[in-house]
Structure 1
């Protein structure tokens, strides 16, 4: 028998199947990881993707598999097919695609199960009773209190870690044949907190209708468009419960790592079954143990961020993508896959349901639903008869005229005062962290920039440092301008730290929490903040986009967007869509259990995204946005392909761009009518981490074949020290 093996080397020259003879004493199955000889290298790892009886090569030229790396199949058959899809869809190597299916540290044997020495009783029943009596004196007192204590512990717990017991007593009992010392595997748990089981509540009529539509739907792809607080999560739970009842499994994706702790605890309240957690914030050991939990069939539900879509579940029954509009579902690194596309293919392979849920679906997703590619299910009302919160727009130009130069408008101040007096809570959203966004000399115009990136440095007052948010470089703030020597350096712009300071000054009695990348640095910080705010240990929560998603706090009656214009002014055709989404999502945090209010501060109150957000009118926003995109031939009516170039020497990067354009012309020439525009330029942030950055932006009519040809050109073109990347409809257009 012969094994078809993909060696774990992601290079186009070895991106093919290699055949190896299977030794007669060895049991090898598709999906197993194996050690194989390869070329002049030392032994390398590979993955078996097929077995055949007859080889295409002469027997004396075929080498043997050295050994399997595990006794089980690391990959399922479905995962192998999924990797082949990724290889073709994103024009990457099969080895690279297969790596998505495995914890990174499994490769190379860098991680394994954690074990510890345990004491375990050998004797049972009457034999144990006799041994216990032998440990007592005639008067009934123990001959050795320590040994009796260990024996009592083990009778109640079965086995215990050796480090938790008296070592000499354990060894004495071991010599007497009462217990044994073994090495046992222990799980590294992402969350160790236990929660009480809660009952299901009665579904509303609308929820029942939605659930029946999913159960009886003719197609298996659904877009669940429900306003914030409409009960979408309850639909997810019932769908997952249906899967388990049928002996199937389910995946629930959430957009942020910060949402996994409370979602996990919420699911644990409703399910007796094991739940595995997959996301990049886990330690290597935790990631391995969660993966093994799924491989062993112990977990029927997988919860996680983007990477959870690759979980090795068998008999997949449903994939649910919550907050499907979030850009975090697109990978940051090459190949830049999207969780939606992977989920669609995985559901096609397994016959599973695909459910996309959002209060503000992506324009492209809603467009597909309107065309019938998804079954559109609407939940237009909140539960329990609650109304969506009233949104009040505050024109910040008027605040400047009044002499108010803080980020808190007079109207917001009044609402905060009222909220605190009512013993309720508020959430304030600003998508800028730090204290001040840049430092400038008022005498000569000098701006403090990062030495490695072409961006201004942000001042962080709590640490009294300037920090680059792209490379992490820091420096001590200067007191005089290094150019003109005058002490006229001033801090401009407002970040979450400054908002926190202003709020504390305005409301010294208020308890304030801040949630951004600077405060969420330790493990468990997300869950701790969530629990503290839910328990009303704080009155006001200030944060970046971390706080706009998924949070459900019963006492929050006020939410505010402090600067909607920061999103509107981004040079991207999706800036209006993202503004509408962020406003709607933060507005959705208020009034989930009683009437709420939303304050929307902006310098552009007439913009259509602002106006539609005021009335929670997604349908109206969609109609205006899709009409504009069709007229301008923007996605979904066209496709952008971005080719990225970066290198330490600018002249090398520029030469690479020029050469690629020459090659690109030959590919595009037969497709002139399909080309809308081509533009080569510096990236908006020209330098990051000492790397000069340029890109080519190709705007095409929708043409999968042409996109494939551009991918192929990209794959076979290399430029030495110049790094390249490719992205379809990139999240960041600049």
Structure 2
């Protein structure tokens, strides 16, 4: 037999199948990881993607597999098919596509099963009684207290880690034949918290109607439900249906910070094991959760974007909660989207796909209207609760009245009332740090990062200036390095300064802050969630992390402090993102009783703000889609962004010019399908000492033309210049 192997080298020159002979008595199956000889290298890892009885090559020219790396198939047949889809869809190598299916630490054997030496009691009944008698004096008192204590503990537990017992006592009992030492596998568990099982909730008539429509046999659904409408209960019932049919389920959430809350909900309702997949796990935890699924112990997978690749077999449903979030698109090349991967996995398994959101992506809702998804609407909150009233505060008037803080008079009054009532508030500002930039008022000098073409943010708690792109820090200066005058001033504000202002206004309030600066430690998000849910704090201040799916029963006030920071981003999605953020943070308030939302803005009449005030998604969609059709923006067209970066600007510019020349030759016969081509500096020209340029191609929707650009991109390489490609990029800058 011959094995068809993809070597674990992501390079276009070796992006093909290699054949290897399978030695006699070596059990090799498709999906197994193997070690193989390759080229001038001594050996390398590979994945077996198929078996053949014959080969087109001469037998003496075919090398043998050295050994299997596991005694099980690391990949399923479906995952191998999925990798082929990724290779075609994102024009990448098959090796790169296969890597998505495996924990990174598995490759190269950097992590494995964790074992522990344990002490196991061997005896019982009369035999154990004789050993116990040997530990006593004639008068019945204990002669060997350490052995007696160890034996007593083992009688209670049966087996314990050797590290928890007295070593000399264990050795003595082992000589007596009372115990044995064994090596046992132990699991590294991400969530240790004990969860109490609860009964099912009664379903509303709307929930019953939605479930009936899903059970009727459809395959793709867009669950458009307002915040607090009971979408999670739909997810749970659909997953339970799948498990009852012997199938498995994946539930995706957009943020790592949401996994503890969602895991708790699931554990309260399911007896089955739940595996958790996200980048915040340690290498060992990630491996153990992956193995839990491989061994069939877990039938439900919960996680962020990467969980879409979980090695579940017989998949019944994939649910993408908060489907509008940009975090579902990969940051690194190839820039896949969880939606596309989920859609293909559901096709391969004849499974159900559910996208859920109070504010669906414009493109998703557009496809729903065209019939690609069945739109299921849940327009009302549970228990007869109304969506919170949204009060718009015009910050221009605040400025006229002499208020230069980020807390308007209206927000101050509501915070005071909320605290007096013993309730909680959430304040949203999409900027971390204390001040957003430092400038000299004499000469206009602005402190920038030495490695990136961006201003540095002041962090008062550490008294440092920090670059939010490369992490470089500086000590703040008191005089301007350009003109020598002591006129450096801090401008703008971030979450740290908001925290300081709120503390000054409400010194008795207990405040938590959630941003990248406070969430750096492992499990920090779990502790914050538990503390705020237990009402150990009155006010939660945060960036966009706090807008996504949190459900706190005592939150009756939420506020968007500066809607304009999102509205004025130079991106065609800025209105959409503003509407989504306002609606989502508004949705955190009034989940169990009436709530209030304060929206502070300098642009109160903008259509995104006005539609958000009335929680009117359909009204916003209709206005936004009309504008996009008029301007020929997605979903009526496609953007292809080609990225070029390098340490020497002249080399990057030369690469851009060369690629433009090649691009014109490819696109010239299809000029009717091209709206525009523009080459320019990136909005942030330098990051991490790399000069950045891009080519932005605006096309009429034409997958064939996009494929030709992909092909040209893969065929073109430059010395000392890194390149990347992105379709409809999340960040247009």
- TM bracket (short chain): over 0.9
Say yes or no: does 1:12 pair with 2:49: no
Q: Which stretch of the first structure deviates more once superposed, 147-156 or 313-322?
A: 147-156
Q: State the distance in 1 between where 2:487 and 2:512 align.
A: 32
3-state SS, counterpart of residue 328 of structure 1: helix
Aligned length: 733
Say yes or no: does 1:143 pair with 2:143: yes
Q: State the distance in 2 between where 1:463 and 1:656 align.
A: 41
For 1:566, the equivalent position in structure 2 comes to 565
> 1:369-424 CA distances to partner (integer Å, 9 max, x unpaired)?
11110111000000000000000100000011001000011111111111111111
3-state SS, counterpart of residue 79 of structure 1: helix
Q: State the distance in 1 between where 2:610 and 2:636 align.
A: 25
Say yes or no: does 1:206 pair with 2:206: yes
Q: State the distance in 1 between where 2:618 and 2:272 align.
A: 39
Q: State the distance in 1 between where 2:126 and 2:654 align.
A: 85
Q: State the distance in 1 between where 2:200 and 2:39 align.
A: 59
> 1:663-686 CA distances to partner (integer Å, 9 max, x unpaired)?
101110111110010000000000
For 1:182, the equivalent position in structure 2 comes to 182
- CA shift at 1:499, angstroms? 0.4
- CA shift at 1:127, angstroms? 3.5
- CA shift at 1:156, angstroms? 2.2
* 1:223-238 superposed matches below 5 A: 223-238=222-237
Q: State the distance in 2 between where 1:682 and 1:388 align.
A: 44
For 2:528, the equivalent position in structure 1 comes to 529
Q: Which stretch of the first structure deviates more once superposed, 261-270 or 157-166?
A: 261-270
For 1:160, the equivalent position in structure 2 comes to 160
Q: Which stretch of the first structure deviates more once superposed, 234-243 or 612-621?
A: 234-243
* 1:690-729 superposed matches below 5 A: 690-729=689-728
3-state SS, counterpart of residue 234 of structure 1: helix
Q: Which stretch of the first structure deviates more once superposed, 679-688 or 627-636?
A: 627-636
Q: State the distance in 2 between where 1:45 and 1:98 align.
A: 12
3-state SS, counterpart of residue 190 of structure 2: coil
Q: Which runs of 5+ in 1 are unaligned?
A: none
Q: State the distance in 2 between where 1:655 and 1:160 align.
A: 66
3-state SS, counterpart of residue 6 of structure 2: strand
* 1:118-517 superposed matches below 5 A: 118-217=118-217, 219-517=218-516
Q: State the distance in 2 between where 1:334 and 1:689 align.
A: 18
- CA shift at 1:113, angstroms? 1.0
Q: State the distance in 1 between where 2:157 and 2:355 align.
A: 44
Q: State the distance in 2 between where 1:348 and 1:377 align.
A: 20
Q: State the distance in 1 between where 2:345 and 2:421 align.
A: 49
Say yes or no: does 1:553 pair with 2:552: yes
3-state SS, counterpart of residue 582 of structure 2: helix
Q: State the distance in 2 between where 1:637 and 1:175 align.
A: 79
> 1:622-657 CA distances to partner (integer Å, 9 max, x unpaired)?
011111111111111110000000000000000000
Q: State the distance in 2 between where 1:139 and 1:376 align.
A: 81
3-state SS, counterpart of residue 521 of structure 2: coil
3-state SS, counterpart of residue 644 of structure 1: strand
- CA shift at 1:145, angstroms? 2.2
Say yes or no: does 1:105 pair with 2:79: no
- CA shift at 1:131, angstroms? 3.4
> 1:239-258 CA distances to partner (integer Å, 9 max, x unpaired)?
11111111111111000011
3-state SS, counterpart of residue 384 of structure 1: helix
> 1:14-58 CA distances to partner (integer Å, 9 max, x unpaired)?
100000011111000000000001111111100000011111111
- CA shift at 1:155, angstroms? 2.2
- CA shift at 1:158, angstroms? 2.3
Q: State the distance in 2 between where 1:550 and 1:610 align.
A: 21
- CA shift at 1:126, angstroms? 4.6
- CA shift at 1:141, angstroms? 3.6
Q: What is the Cα-based RMSD across aligned positions, in Å? A: 1.0
- CA shift at 1:172, angstroms? 0.7
For 2:604, the equivalent position in structure 1 comes to 605
Q: State the distance in 1 between where 2:129 and 2:234 align.
A: 53
Provide closer, same or farther for how the CA distance between residues 61 and 124 of structure 1 changes in structure 2, counting only shifts above 3 A. farther
For 2:23, the equivalent position in structure 1 comes to 23
- CA shift at 1:463, angstroms? 0.5
> 1:70-98 CA distances to partner (integer Å, 9 max, x unpaired)?
00000000100000000010000000000
Q: Which stretch of the first structure deviates more once superposed, 194-203 or 391-400?
A: 194-203
Q: State the distance in 2 between where 1:551 and 1:126 align.
A: 58
- CA shift at 1:134, angstroms? 4.1
3-state SS, counterpart of residue 105 of structure 2: helix
- CA shift at 1:125, angstroms? 4.7
For 1:651, the equivalent position in structure 2 comes to 650
3-state SS, counterpart of residue 41 of structure 2: coil
3-state SS, counterpart of residue 43 of structure 1: strand
> 1:527-552 CA distances to partner (integer Å, 9 max, x unpaired)?
11111111111111110001001111
Q: State the distance in 2 between where 1:351 and 1:154 align.
A: 50
- CA shift at 1:136, angstroms? 3.9
Q: State the distance in 2 between where 1:74 and 1:456 align.
A: 46
- CA shift at 1:133, angstroms? 4.1
Provide closer, same or farther for how the CA distance between residues 288 and 57 of structure 1 changes in structure 2, counting only shifts above 3 A. same
> 1:194-233 CA distances to partner (integer Å, 9 max, x unpaired)?
111111111111111111111113x301100000000001
Q: State the distance in 2 between where 1:156 and 1:550 align.
A: 44
Q: State the distance in 2 between where 1:212 and 1:135 align.
A: 68
3-state SS, counterpart of residue 600 of structure 1: strand
Q: State the distance in 1 between where 2:80 and 2:676 align.
A: 37
- CA shift at 1:267, angstroms? 1.4
Q: Which runs of 5+ in 2 are unaligned?
A: none
Q: State the distance in 2 between where 1:275 and 1:290 align.
A: 9
3-state SS, counterpart of residue 37 of structure 1: strand
3-state SS, counterpart of residue 264 of structure 2: helix
- CA shift at 1:526, angstroms? 0.7
Q: State the distance in 2 between where 1:231 and 1:685 align.
A: 42
> 1:121-156 CA distances to partner (integer Å, 9 max, x unpaired)?
223455434434444445444432221221222222
Q: Which stretch of the first structure deviates more once superposed, 603-612 or 142-151?
A: 142-151
Q: State the distance in 1 between where 2:457 and 2:702 align.
A: 42
Q: State the distance in 2 between where 1:537 and 1:432 align.
A: 24
Q: State the distance in 1 between where 2:215 and 2:130 align.
A: 59
Q: State the distance in 1 between where 2:600 and 2:86 align.
A: 43
For 2:634, the equivalent position in structure 1 comes to 635
